[in-house]
């Protein structure tokens, strides 16, 4: 089952988005549309997509018009063909016009993330690997973009810097090496979700294995080198399973090679930093 979202929990965030766009007033709408005019808007998919954010879309109009009536026809996670109508909104015409851009921007952005994620998930179908997001998210939208990844069938990596230890290349350099960095974080074990270190070659991998981290990120390695690294991790005697993660340079064209190399996780920054917004329209008609 795809995840669900409580749109009311993002009430203040949506209000901030609306304030940014409307500012001191929607001058065009206020001058051209009667205060008493009612209207109906239909959301229409223009391209094949995975829907994400429809409840947030609806909440925008409920904020602007407490009498708004929203008909949700398709739920997040559903695959929509061009022409499909996932929702209709009946409300003040001014509310529909003033909220249109914010509501559509969110829906197009989140559906774009979900759609790209679903493509990666389908590309590795039948393997043991999972597709994960990263922290390469839009500031202020992380929770929503990570939600969209879940809707698309992916999984969430750490949500913030406090959740888990992830020792990257710069940490290693500043700490004085792989062993020094891993030694320094051992007292966090049991207080964080996991301890992970990024390695870029087999020498770094072997140094990391000596400290038995929970997870090893194989960064910017070829699928062949990843396969070799995974083999060494599996042969290493450890008190717990050490999972492996492939990251860096992963595309739809090569992601299956990495999955078949035996990694547990494949993290793809592109899910959130490069997903294109999908084409969705909102067509508004007056109600007599």
Tokens, residue 4? 């669900």
Query: Six-digit token pair at 198?
Result: 């990024």
Q: Known catalytic residue: 198?
A: yes
Strands 195-199 and 79-80: unpaired
Q: Is 30 a catalytic residue?
A: no
Q: Which of 38, 136, 155, 159 is catalytic?
A: 136
* Given 21, 69, 168, 189, the catalytic residue: 168
Active-site pick, 40, 46, 84, 101: 101
* Active-site residue identified among 76, 100, 133, 198: 198
Q: Classify 151 as helix, strand or coil.
A: helix
Active site residue 31: no
CA distance to 59, 76, 147, 210, 286, per residue, from 4 (Å):
14, 7, 9, 41, 32
Strands 265-267 and 130-132: parallel
Closest CA to 232 of 254, 262, 257: 262
The question of whether 214 is a catalytic residue gets the answer: no
Query: Choosing from 100, 214, 219, 264, which is the catalytic residue?
Result: 219
Nearest C-alpha neighbor of 78 from the set 37, 105, 48: 48
Check if 136 is active-site: yes
Please work out, in degrees rounded to the nearest 5, the angle formed at the alpha carbon of residue 54 by the alpha carbons of 149 and 102: 95
Catalytic residues: 101, 136, 168, 198, 219
């Amino acid at each position: 089952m795809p995840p669900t979202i409580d749109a009311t929990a993002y009430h203040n965030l949506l209000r901030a988005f609306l304030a940014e766009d409307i500012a001191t007033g929607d001058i065009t709408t206020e001058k051209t549309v009667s205060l008493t005019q009612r209207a109906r808007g239909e959301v229409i998919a223009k391209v094949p997509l995975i829907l994400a954010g429809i409840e947030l879309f609806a909440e925008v109009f409920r904020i602007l018009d407490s009498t708004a009536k929203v008909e949700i026809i398709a739920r997040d996670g559903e695959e929509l063909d061009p022409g499909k109508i996932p929702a209709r909104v009946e409300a003040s015409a001014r509310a529909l016009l003033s909220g249109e851009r914010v509501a559509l921007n969110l829906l197009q952005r989140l559906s774009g993330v979900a759609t790209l994620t679903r493509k990666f998930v389908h590309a590795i179908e039948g393997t043991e690997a999972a597709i994960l997001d990263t922290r390469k998210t839009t500031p202020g939208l992380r929770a929503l973009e990570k939600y969209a990844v879940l809707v698309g069938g992916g999984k969430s990596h750490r949500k913030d810097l406090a959740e888990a230890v992830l020792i990257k290349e710069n940490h290693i350099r500043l700490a004085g090496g792989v062993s020094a960095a891993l030694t320094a974080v051992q007292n966090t074990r049991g207080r964080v979700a996991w301890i992970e270190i990024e390695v870029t070659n087999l020498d770094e991998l072997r140094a990391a294995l000596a400290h038995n981290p929970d997870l090893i990120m194989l960064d910017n390695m070829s699928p062949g080198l990843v396969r070799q690294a995974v083999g060494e991790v599996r042969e290493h005697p450890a008190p717990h399973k050490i999972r492996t993660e492939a990251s860096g340079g992963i595309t739809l064209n090569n992601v299956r090679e990495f999955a078949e190399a035996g990694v547990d996780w494949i993290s793809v920054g592109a899910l959130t930093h490069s997903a294109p917004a999908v084409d969705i329209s909102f067509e508004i008609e007056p109600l007599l």
